């Protein structure tokens, strides 16, 4: 591969553009959506700062055993046992740790399903399967052998996430302060972007970290639908889930304008995804995932070679940011400045707050947030017209062996 996405190469199917007249079927006058800048060049190396994919020739870290030593190397343990979006926002910090500790084995305590995404970052040697129900903090990490040389809490800011690491007796623990239990470390800030938060933690301990070092390479495998518009109606909480009927209306307008549409879904979202597809006039074959999570390599290939992504504040939005695919991201209970893409033309964020509060709603609430419901179908369609043409996108790096 030359580092260019397959979607940018010859033989790409013709399809209508979003731009031009600034109108799309169902469109409206131009939106005031906030825009976002292309990501910096720091995140474009195919294997992050290490110069190679972690986990050996397969390009994936092992995820099938406890944190037992595999070689005579000191071990660095990172706790980030959350979802895909949480992992991707931690990529700059993981790469900074890799640069600062090139001789260590870097182990990530995270759900096993994140192993392929962790490999794509090019910084993790192995994943230690670690999880808890919902967004609870795991009570223990499956560890054997000598204590870690360094342990890093990229999970939270309090005793619940400090304790499972402290129990392993690391020589050094990098974490936020939480008086009176823990006074070492920088103070936690509520109003801070997630990527900046973890880079600031490491910087306090003398480890330089760049929040813009967030790009991951798209896999070499072909997309199941090159050039499609990806619509992701799901989210792990109803508060961040725009109504399915509105996603369907967007899909119907795009279908009528001649675009190919793929509806993506995580595990347990099959009903929602198929309902959106049906309402949009799409066949069931337009849905990827739903009964289970789509394989990461397939999902990453789809998003990396997509025309655009339409998504709420959830993991797929961070994947679009990571692979450099234009996106329209819908926000409700939490401000884009905390979880949104970098500012600039590649991404459009839609948000209608009452004031400048960073967290005006409950991100894990069981009903759609009122600010999210203020976003209209014409507004989303108009935001799409303001995304850059694929031919103008910078070339993406690729990671050999990232399939699976």
pLDDT of residue 26 exceeding 50, the answer is: no
Once rounded to an integer, what is the mean pLDDT over residues 34-38?
Answer: 31
| Separation between Cα atoms, residue 197 and residue 287, nearest integer Å | 35
**pLDDT tens-digit map of 161-175:** 999 999 999 999 999
Q: Are strands 218-219 and 150-153 parallel, antiparallel or unpaired?
A: unpaired
User: Rounded CA gap, 401 and 245, in Å?
Assistant: 39
The pLDDT of residue 43 is 29
CB of 122 closer than 8 Å to CB of 54: yes
Per-residue pLDDT at 313? 97
Q: State residue 17's pLDDT score.
A: 59
**Can you tell me the distance from the alpha carbon of 348 to that of 18, in angstroms, rounded to the nearest whole number?**
14
Report how far residue 316's alpha carbon sits from residue 54's, in angstroms, rounded to the nearest whole number: 22
What kind and span of H or E run contains 251?
helix 244-256
User: Cα 201 to chain center, whole Å?
Assistant: 20
Token pair in block for residue 136: 């609870």
Q: What is the pTM of this model?
A: 0.83
**What local confidence, expressed as pLDDT, does residue 335 receive?**
97
Across all residues in the chain, what is the average pLDDT?
84
Q: What H or E segment, with its residue span, contains residue 104?
A: none
299 token code pair: 């999902």
pLDDT confidence band for 63 (50 / 70 / 90)? low
Summarize pLDDT for 206-225 with one digit per residue, the tens. Answer: 999 999 999 999 888 999 99
Check residue 11 and give its pLDDT: 33
**Percent of the chain scoring above 70 in pLDDT:** 79
Peptide bond into 180 cis (omega under 30): yes
pLDDT for 392 equals: 54
């Amino acid at each position: 591969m030359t580092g260019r996405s397959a979607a940018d190469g010859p033989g790409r199917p013709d399809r209508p553009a979003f731009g031009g007249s600034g109108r799309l079927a169902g469109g409206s006058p131009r939106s005031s959506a906030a825009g976002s800048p292309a990501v910096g060049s720091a995140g474009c190396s195919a294997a992050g700062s290490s110069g190679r994919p972690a986990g050996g020739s397969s390009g994936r870290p092992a995820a099938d055993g406890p944190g037992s030593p595999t070689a005579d190397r000191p071990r660095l343990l990172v706790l980030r046992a959350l979802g895909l979006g949480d992992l991707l926002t931690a990529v700059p910090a993981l790469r900074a740790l890799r640069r600062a500790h090139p001789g260590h084995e870097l182990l990530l305590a995270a759900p096993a399903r994140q192993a392929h995404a962790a490999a794509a970052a090019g910084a993790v040697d192995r994943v230690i399967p670690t999880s808890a129900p919902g967004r609870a903090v795991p009570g223990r990490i499956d560890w054997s052998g000598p204590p870690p040389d360094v342990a890093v809490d990229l999970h939270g800011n309090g005793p619940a996430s400090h304790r499972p690491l402290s129990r392993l007796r690391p020589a050094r623990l990098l974490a936020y302060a939480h008086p009176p239990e823990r006074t070492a470390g920088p103070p936690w800030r509520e109003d801070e972007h997630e990527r900046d938060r973890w880079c600031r933690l490491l910087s306090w301990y003398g480890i330089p970290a760049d929040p813009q070092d967030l790009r991951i390479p798209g896999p070499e495998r072909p997309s199941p639908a090159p050039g499609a518009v990806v619509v992701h109606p799901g989210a792990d909480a109803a508060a961040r889930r725009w109504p399915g009927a509105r996603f369907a209306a967007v899909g119907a307008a795009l279908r009528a304008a001649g675009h190919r549409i793929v509806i993506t879904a995580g595990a347990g979202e099959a009903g929602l995804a198929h309902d959106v597809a049906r309402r949009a006039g799409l066949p069931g074959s337009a849905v990827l995932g739903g009964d289970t999570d789509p394989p990461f390599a397939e999902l990453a290939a789809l998003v990396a070679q997509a025309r655009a992504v339409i998504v709420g504040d959830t993991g797929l939005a961070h994947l679009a940011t990571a692979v450099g695919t234009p996106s329209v991201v819908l926000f409700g209970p939490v401000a884009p400045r905390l979880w949104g893409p970098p500012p600039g033309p590649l991404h459009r964020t839609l948000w209608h707050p009452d004031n400048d509060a960073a967290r005006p709603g409950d991100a894990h609430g069981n009903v759609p947030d009122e600010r999210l419901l203020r976003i209209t179908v014409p507004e989303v369609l108009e935001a799409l017209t303001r995304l850059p043409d694929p031919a103008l996108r910078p070339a993406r790096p690729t990671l050999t062996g990232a399939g699976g």
